[in-house]
Structure 1
């Protein structure tokens, strides 16, 4: 059912270069294409994050890739929400005042469906709901978009990796076309990404964070991407990532987050990143387009 409401880095890099691509080749490859622009939690600067309205806002802006966060309810249903608690982005404190700290995992899907996930952002989004993963996937598919799906806090939800993959399969997202070019699964939890890779080796995966250069080869065994915050990205780090090949024998990629202004976007692109995740993806896209002139 679809819900539709209104340092040392350079030396380490030399040590890695014998493993895969020479650094110069990696640098050249990094600049063959402009970075992919990914809408953070949809288009979170323009609509309430992680809602269908946010997916649609990204679509209206012409943004192909969107990112989301997946968690699990008390009764085992997968929903799209960033925070462990419902308090910031819904009216849960008003509807269930005695249920502090209002964690997602303490509420059933039926209870969560009673919450308003839009008014906190702007009154015009009143009635927007916390979407199930199924509804979110349907909306992304309907819009012809692509998904960077984050397993949020998987340590709180044992087995969520297998469950999320089951939902993806049920909704047609594990067929050849989707796995090849429309889906990436990422997490801050390395064990979760290892498990996803073991269960479905064809899926493209990403680790959220900035492991040390000496540790990067370990991540390359099961990650196609290393995705650090933009404040941690340097040219040397990008080159170290690009010097490795991931589990699908392709050059490791780096998507950085969260970049919301033109100067930072151009700076990140200049370092050779492969993707930029942004609450204002239109601003980033325009800045990068201007940078090509």
Structure 2
């Protein structure tokens, strides 16, 4: 919404006797940057449901958020599961179910063992019994909700071959067809080599690098990625502009999606830097502050 449109909307609301509170800074900044940034629900709408569960996907859908972000790792028997930490202990009851197996690393448990864990009770009693989904189960839910997916390959240095397996599952579930690749899928990682591997195997897939490379190094990243996705604490308007001056692997300006912004004031500030997207635990708050 432009400043002109916002002003007109406020005037109409006043005539109708409706009290409207608009974030003027956000409106002015969104106007400066063009379209408001795309909002990505971090690990699903993780402020409202246990992260990386199907409940978090549904929570994002209930807020009309089109994009969800998740993390994938490999179990001991090579099954991709959706989990952020390399240890299962923070977000499941693994210490109770499997005592004596510290540090409870994802890579040390089979998919069947992970499936036994409660991944919801830590967040709230009403989520008791929520499970750690496999990537296949997660894709089914995102597809059912007609959402889009920003998929992070987590700690690729721990999981040799995880890129190949991720692409295999995506292909098996129909997520590497033209419609999904063009409009509904981005694969990202903190590992530059992992992003390179995905790009080499599937040059058509949109990729993102998580981090804040030095400006001088950006051309090298642009050769294999489409997005530079940094923490909001590491960037300013000059950095965003420097990224967007370059064309990425698909010949389009590099995009910038920043993380993890959870309050309205910071969202408005970050939008003013000209970022293309904001990754957030509170997607409704960020959306309302920046549109």
- TM-score (ref. length: structure 1): 0.88
Q: Which residue of 1 aligns with 2:128?
A: 126
| 1:261-292 C-alpha deviation (Å, 9 max, x unpaired) | 00110101100000000000000001012xxx
Distance 1:105 1:29 in 2: 46
Question: Does residue 149 in structure 1 map to residue 151 in structure 2?
Answer: yes
The partner residue of 2:168 within 166, 169, 178 is: 166
Alpha-carbon contact 1:30-1:273 (below 8 Å) kept: no
Distance 2:32 2:158 in 1: 36
Q: Which residue of 1 aligns with 2:238?
A: 236
Structure 1: gaps of 5 or more residues: 1-27
Q: Which residue of 2 aligns with 1:62?
A: 64
Distance 1:106 1:216 in 2: 36
Change (3 A) 1:226 1:29: farther
The partner residue of 2:96 within 83, 94, 117 is: 94
Q: Which residue of 2 aligns with 1:224?
A: 226
The partner residue of 1:182 within 178, 181, 184 is: 184
Query: Greater shift after overlay, 61-70 or 31-40?
Result: 31-40
Q: Which residue of 1 aligns with 2:83?
A: 81
Q: Which residue of 2 aligns with 1:71?
A: 73
Alpha-carbon contact 1:30-1:242 (below 8 Å) kept: no
SS at match of 1:254: strand
User: Once the 2 structures are TM-superposed, how far is the Cα of residue 29 of structure 1 from its aligned partner?
Assistant: 11
Alpha-carbon contact 2:33-2:273 (below 8 Å) kept: no
Structure 2: gaps of 5 or more residues: 1-29
User: Once the 2 structures are TM-superposed, how far is the Cα of residue 233 of structure 1 from its aligned partner?
Assistant: 1.4
Distance 1:53 1:30 in 2: 36
Write the mapping of 1:1-293 to structure 2, written as runs, cut at 5 A. 31-289=33-291
Distance 2:49 2:163 in 1: 28
Distance 2:69 2:178 in 1: 20
| 1:195-223 C-alpha deviation (Å, 9 max, x unpaired) | 00000000000000000000000000001
Distance 1:273 1:128 in 2: 34
Instruction: Count the aligned residue pairs.
Output: 262
Q: Which residue of 2 aligns with 1:7?
A: none
Distance 1:224 1:114 in 2: 38
Distance 1:30 1:248 in 2: 26
Distance 1:63 1:268 in 2: 19
Distance 1:70 1:96 in 2: 22
| 1:63-100 C-alpha deviation (Å, 9 max, x unpaired) | 00000000000011000000000000000000001100
SS at match of 2:253: coil
User: Once the 2 structures are TM-superposed, how far is the Cα of residue 111 of structure 1 from its aligned partner?
Assistant: 0.5
User: Once the 2 structures are TM-superposed, how far is the Cα of residue 30 of structure 1 from its aligned partner?
Assistant: 8.1
